[in-house]
Amino acid sequence: MESRPSCRTSHCPFHCSRRRFLATAGIVGASVPMGLLDFASSLFAAESRSSSKPIIRVVFVRPDTDKYWLGWPGAAYDIKEHQRLYTKTLKEAAEKYNVDLLVVEAPLDDEAAVGQCLDSLKRMPPQGLIVISMSLNQSWPHINRIAKERGDIPTIVFSPMGTSFTGHLQETRNLPGVYVAATQDVGWLDFGVRMLRTIWDMKHSRICVVTGDKIEDRRLEPIGTTLHFIPHRRYPDEYKKIEETDEVRALADHYSKVAKKIVEPKREDIINSVKNYVLARQLMQEEKCDGISVNCLPLVEQHLLPAPPCMAWLRLNDEGSVGACEADWPAAISLRLTSYLFDRPGFMQDPAPNTVNNTLMGAHCSSPTKLDGFDKPGEPLILRSHSESNIGVSPQVLWRIGQKVTIMKFEGDPPGTILLGTGRVLRNIDTPPSGGCRTSVELEVDGVADARDVKGFHQLFIYGDLELPFKAYCQLAGLKVVHI
């Protein structure tokens, strides 16, 4: 039966043809014609992934023979042709995601070969390991040994249809850092490489957190992301230096034209909001970070900013970078993971249960528009004021009614758990007559008897049913999953 296109197959939109996401601050002074401000060709776009490459080793576990007789996968299974197919698929994914792939063509066919493989992994551990099962009867004792003795190398066991029964899959199912992909879909290997690349990228990410009065770094284990803290006061001090350049005016024109409607904001409000985007890019470049989170509300309350950075966060998240509110670093690293793993942004929101409908309302000042993916058209946008202060610009993004969504966020300190669930968009909520932030979405949440039981705060809403691929990543990365 043909697989339906979904986020649970290789046909899902994990693969972005445009790898240029992050806004580059070094070209602020360049002249930017309006035609270059579209997201696919923007001069502001640059690679957000680490320029260094992870090494992924691939091994095949099977008898050293040219043809099987009886037993699965059967005599009709062309061993060499299947190994060529798996290798070709992996090499294409490695090129796409900038990975060094080391393919060991000689099969692991006995205990001696497995022992040599394990010795090599200990001497020169790669950043990821892919073990491909090619025999139902002979592979699994070897695979189980590799999975248990590999050390802490993130490991994928790929078991295509015909190479495993239920019993074969038991010893590896709960091993941290090991994900078993038992599937007929060879194209899934692309996502497997992407997961290993994402583990590497999360370890090399740096998020600039603007709060407090100190400059310090903190590395988050087990994911490895670095939080780079800079003083709170620096943001408004640097904002004062941002001038109204041609680039600022061009970007203000861009959002004025693409907006479905402009309600409260005046031209000056839009200009002031765009300056936050220029400043955010500048700070990320200076601090060598690929995301930013600012506790802006005290700055707005003290009249140190003429506009909060809501539109800046929209732009950064639409580009594949990270802009997060309230110096909430768990939300920031959740946005970072979503961007790397699925080529789409998340919406950080304040959860407000609706006890009459038993639904969940989520609202915040800064929803991205590229909810289907960074290279896809954006959702409709209305320019509003920041509702809590009634200044600046805050986007009201209109979410697609009936759209399946995933709800997730890192939890804990250190962040070893991900909250995860799914739901469906029921409606957009206008403010007024309602209160709260401008983008306000009501969801029907799956598997929750009472909306007041939904765990967490500032969880992300993300387009798509991504529960299974998120769980796969968490298993591979050694993270715990808790239902929302």
Which pTM value belongs to this model? 0.91
Query: Cβ of 144: how many Cβ atoms within 10 Å?
Result: 16
Same domain, 274 and 183: no
The DSSP secondary-structure symbol of 464 reads S
Put residue 70 in one of left, alpha, beta given phi > 0 → left and psi -120 to 50 → alpha: left
**Final residue of a structural domain among 201, 228, 257:** 201
User: Does residue 309 have a cis peptide bond before it, meaning omega lies within 30 degrees of 0?
Assistant: no
Residue type for position 148: K
Same domain, 135 and 226: no
Helices then strands, counting H and E runs in the chain, come out as 11, 23
In a domain, 268, yes or no: yes
DSSP string, 148-195: HHS-S--EEEEEETTS--GGGGSTTTT-TTEEEEEES-TTHHHHHHHH
The closest of 303, 323, 307 to 266, measured between CA atoms, is: 307
Grouping H, G, I as helix, E, B as strand and the rest as coil, residue 427 is strand
In a domain, 16, yes or no: no
- Determine the pLDDT at residue 52: 82
In a domain, 24, yes or no: no
Residue type for position 420: L
Looking up residue 479, the CATH number of its domain turns out to be 3.20.14
DSSP string, 216-246: EEEE-TTT-PEEEEE-TTHHHHHHTT----H
Same domain, 215 and 190: no
The domain of 396 spans: 204-483
- Residues 236/304, Cβ–Cβ less than 8 Å: yes
The number of folded domains in the chain is: 2
In a domain, 257, yes or no: yes
The DSSP secondary-structure symbol of 453 reads G
The DSSP secondary-structure symbol of 479 reads -
In a domain, 360, yes or no: yes
Same domain, 149 and 244: no
Same domain, 69 and 114: yes
In a domain, 82, yes or no: yes
Q: Where are the alpha helices (DSSP H) in 295-418?
A: 297-301, 310-319, 329-342
From residue 161, give the alpha-carbon distance in Å to each of 146, 165, 206: 21, 9, 40
- Residue 354 exposed, middle or buried by CB count within 10 Å (0-12, 13-18, 19+): middle
**Final residue of a structural domain among 179, 201, 223:** 201
Same domain, 282 and 186: no
Low-confidence ranges of the chain (pLDDT < 50): 1-47
Cα–Cα dist 143/120, whole Å: 16
- Residues 156/131, Cβ–Cβ less than 8 Å: yes
Same domain, 171 and 269: no
Q: What tokens does 99 get?
A: 């990975």
Cα–Cα dist 409/346, whole Å: 10
Half-sphere exposure (Cβ direction) of 333: Cα atoms closer than 13 Å: 30
Grouping H, G, I as helix, E, B as strand and the rest as coil, residue 92 is helix
In a domain, 250, yes or no: yes
Cα–Cα dist 441/426, whole Å: 8
Residues 6+ apart with CB under 8 A from 325: 293, 294, 296, 313, 331, 348, 364, 365, 366, 458
Same domain, 120 and 75: yes
**Final residue of a structural domain among 201, 233, 251:** 201
Same domain, 228 and 252: yes
Same domain, 102 and 230: no
Same domain, 337 and 405: yes
CA 284, 225, 95 angle in degrees (round to 5)? 85
- Residue 362 exposed, middle or buried by CB count within 10 Å (0-12, 13-18, 19+): buried
Looking up residue 128, the CATH number of its domain turns out to be 3.40.50.2300
Query: Cβ of 162: how many Cβ atoms within 10 Å?
Result: 18
Q: What tokens does 120 get?
A: 């090599």
Same domain, 101 and 213: no
- Determine the pLDDT at residue 50: 61
In a domain, 215, yes or no: yes
